[in-house]
Amino acid sequence: MMDRRDHIAQKIAANVDIVDTGFDTPCWLWRGRDSGKGRGGGYPRMTLNDHTCAVHKVSFVNAHGYVPGNKQLDHRCRQRRCVNPDHLDMVSHGENQKRRDAANGVARKRKRKAGRT
């Protein structure tokens, strides 16, 4: 009998193409539906227990465990449609932004401390 983790892994695997995108290991690119266009768009979505979920989060949790509410998952491969749990790092929001900006060649401005001019 297949356990829940195996069922989830099988459901994900049935909807990915394994593609060499130039990262260390191949990406698992989701070919199903996504979150659409606009801000925060383009992330894979799937239905699990009658709820719509972000596939990269489901894949990570299934492989590595719980993600606290104050953490985010960063795609080290820089591919939003990648759901390979080994390409995802659990990081803070600030770290996720730093990594995104570094990948895009954006120099981040340092925040000024209160009371300084």
pLDDT of residue 46: 96
Q: What is the pLDDT of residue 17?
A: 98
pLDDT at 116: 62
58: exposed, middle or buried (Cβ count in 10 Å: 0-12, 13-18, 19+):
buried
**What CA–CA distance (Å, rounded) separates 35 from 44?**
6
Say which residues have a Cβ less than 8 Å from residue 71's Cβ, sequence separation at least 6: 90, 91, 92
| Model pLDDT, residue 117 | 57
Decide the pairing of beta strands 45-48 and 51-54.
antiparallel
Give the model's pLDDT for residue 66: 96
How far apart, in whole angstroms, are the C-alpha atoms of residue 12 and residue 6?
Answer: 10
pTM of the model: 0.86
Question: Mean pLDDT in runs of 10 for the chain (117 residues)?
Answer: 91 97 97 90 94 96 96 96 98 95 83 66
